[in-house]
């Protein structure tokens, strides 16, 4: 491959639909419905009707088999040029950011000039599978030629074959829910309940304020009567949060429904391009995506907690960028669970972890907490798994644009012991 020079990758903007708690407003919307709505809003906002995009990449964590070509099918329902190539990507909760990184790399290498990264998820319309026994009988039935053959096959059916397979929000290799994993790590790192509740409280208060101040006015398209994330509780109190019972370890746990993200439905998208592409169309450049890094940890061998991989990815990225953890104006750390954010920050402050696990001479140190998730994050907005990445990229790009300069960090933990991280700069 011949690469003449690496080009700067601009973030032009984005669009999402408001996020909705599972089984609420979007309970009858499919992944395709929601992703199409987010993309249609993006097309309208940036006047992309008829535009041939270099690529549209994105995905969903929870997919029906009919969604095998989800992004392509969604794009075909928009006014983007039907010749636009599309593909699905999946890296659990890191999907949206990973999609942005993939297309950004292609833009940087001169393979495409513009792209959309997107993500969607619904736990309301979760794919329900059939048992292995029923599946095999159904496949054989499809091939059977005569009625007696079909009846013979049906006679093989046993009641247990009729039990549906409901997707579980748990790690296949451990059988533990994400929250149970996180609770174990939270205990290891000794993360107090009140600190988790405070982080959740700040997320709601910051996001409600941002909505009231109009920050999201040009970022979100109302959908199905919703114009704000319906998980958002701007008037919640620390006393109310403190009154909730632990959910992932009922006896000794610290994690509750409020300091954990709720199951959520929603979709988001972000538009990336070269500077020239943006200039030719008179489109703004909010920020640039400059570095990215992924990491994975051995949570199966119990060497590390399931959701701590960003603690490994970020220092590697800082080293490549030649900067320190303190050299940021904004930190966008996905709030899968308040405890996950807090033990990641604590790990970077911990000499033993930094020396023994990260192989560094000293600690990465503390961050200025007043720069953390200042417009709220997933605890307030909710977390439709694959849609969180583009939500965060757009939020950070807009923050950098408003400031007029600076640098922001994105950190997203993901199932399977993975972490996806990036740096945006203005």
Ligand X SMILES: CC(=O)SCCNC(=O)CCNC(=O)[C@H](O)C(C)(C)COP(=O)(O)OP(=O)(O)OC[C@H]1O[C@@H](n2cnc3c(N)ncnc32)[C@H](O)[C@@H]1OP(=O)(O)O
| Cross-strand bridge partners of residue 24 | none
CB of 336: closest distance to ligand X in angstroms?
A: 3
Residue ranges in 59-165 assigned as alpha helix (H)? 70-76, 95-108, 132-143, 147-155
Task: Quickly list DSSP for 238-305.
Answer: HHHHHHSPPSSSTTT----SSSBPPBEEEEEEEEEE-HHHHHHTT----EEEEEEEEEE--TTTTSS-
CB nearer to ligand X: pick between 204 and 375: 204
Cβ contact 71:59 at 8 Å: yes
The token pair that represents 351 in the structure block: 């000499």
**With binding defined as CB under 6 A, does residue 414 bind ligand X?**
yes
Can you tell me which residue has the tokens 């091939």?
A: 143
Instruction: Count the site residues for ligand X by CB under 6 A.
Output: 23
CB of 197: closest distance to ligand X in angstroms?
A: 9
Contacts of 66 (CB under 8 A, 6+ apart): none
CB of 215: closest distance to ligand X in angstroms?
A: 20
**With binding defined as CB under 6 A, does residue 75 bind ligand X?**
no
CB of 164: closest distance to ligand X in angstroms?
A: 20
Catalytic residue among 204, 334, 383, 394: 383
**With binding defined as CB under 6 A, does residue 333 bind ligand X?**
no
Q: Which of 79, 9, 68 is nearest to 41 (CA)?
A: 79
413 belongs to the catalytic site: yes
CB nearer to ligand X: pick between 204 and 394: 204
Per CB under 6 A, which region of 56-64, 208-216, 240-248, 361-369 contacts ligand X?
A: 240-248
**With binding defined as CB under 6 A, does residue 344 bind ligand X?**
no
**With binding defined as CB under 6 A, does residue 59 bind ligand X?**
no
Cα distances (angstroms) measured from residue 315 to each of 287, 293, 320, 359, 360: 22, 9, 9, 10, 9
**With binding defined as CB under 6 A, does residue 391 bind ligand X?**
no
**With binding defined as CB under 6 A, does residue 90 bind ligand X?**
no
Per CB under 6 A, which region of 71-79, 147-155, 260-268, 273-281 contacts ligand X?
A: 260-268
Cβ contact 181:308 at 8 Å: no
Contacts of 167 (CB under 8 A, 6+ apart): 62, 126, 127, 128, 129
- 260, 268, 274, 411: residue in contact with ligand X (rule CB under 6 A): 260
- 54, 262, 408, 417: residue in contact with ligand X (rule CB under 6 A): 262
CB of 209: closest distance to ligand X in angstroms?
A: 15
- List of residues contacting ligand X (CB under 6 A): 93, 169, 178-179, 204, 233, 236, 240-241, 244, 247, 257-258, 260-263, 307, 336, 383, 413-415
Kindly list the catalytic residues: 93, 383, 413
């Amino acid at each position: 491959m011949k690469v003449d020079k690496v080009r700067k990758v601009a973030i032009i903007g984005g669009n999402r639909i408001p996020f909705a708690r599972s089984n609420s407003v979007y309970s009858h919307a499919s992944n395709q419905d929601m992703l199409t709505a987010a993309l249609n809003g993006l097309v309208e906002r940036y006047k992309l009707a008829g535009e041939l995009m270099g690529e549209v990449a994105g995905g969903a964590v929870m997919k029906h088999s009919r969604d095998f070509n989800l992004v392509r099918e969604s794009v075909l329902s928009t006014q983007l040029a039907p010749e636009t190539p599309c593909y699905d990507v999946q890296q659990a909760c890191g999907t949206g950011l990973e999609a942005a990184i993939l297309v950004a790399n292609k833009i940087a290498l001169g393979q495409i000039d513009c792209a959309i990264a997107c993500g969607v998820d619904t736990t309301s319309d979760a794919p329900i599978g059939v048992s292995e026994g029923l599946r095999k009988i159904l496949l054989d039935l499809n091939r059977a030629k005569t009625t007696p053959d079909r009846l013979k096959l049906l006679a093989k059916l046993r009641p247990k074959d009729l039990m549906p397979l409901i997707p579980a929000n748990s790690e296949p290799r451990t059988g533990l829910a994400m929250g149970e994993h996180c609770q174990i790590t939270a205990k290891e790192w000794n993360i107090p309940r009140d600190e988790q509740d405070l982080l959740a409280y700040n997320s709601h208060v910051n996001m409600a304020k941002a909505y009231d101040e109009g920050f999201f006015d040009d970022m979100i398209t109302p959908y199905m009567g919703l114009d704000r994330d319906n998980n958002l509780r701007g008037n919640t109190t620390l006393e109310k949060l403190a009154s909730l019972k632990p959910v992932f370890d009922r006896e000794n746990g610290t994690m509750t429904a409020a300091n954990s993200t709720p199951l959520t439905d929603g979709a988001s998208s972000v538009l990336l391009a070269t500077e020239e592409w943006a200039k030719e169309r008179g489109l703004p450049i909010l920020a640039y995506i400059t570095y990215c890094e992924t990491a994975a940890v051995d949570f199966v061998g119990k060497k590390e907690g399931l959701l701590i991989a960003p603690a490994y990815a970020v220092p590697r990225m800082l080293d490549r960028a030649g900067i320190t953890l303190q050299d940021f104006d904004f930190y966008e750390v996905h709030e899968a669970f308040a405890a996950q954010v807090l033990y990641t920050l604590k790990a970077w402050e911990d000499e033993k972890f930094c020396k023994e696990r990260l192989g560094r001479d000293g600690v990465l140190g503390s961050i200025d907490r007043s720069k953390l998730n200042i417009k709220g994050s997933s605890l307030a907005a909710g977390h439709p798994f694959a849609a969180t990445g583009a939500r965060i990229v757009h939020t950070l790009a807009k923050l950098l644009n408003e400031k007029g300069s600076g640098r922001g960090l994105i950190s997203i933990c993901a199932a399977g012991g993975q972490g996806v991280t990036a740096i945006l700069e203005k």
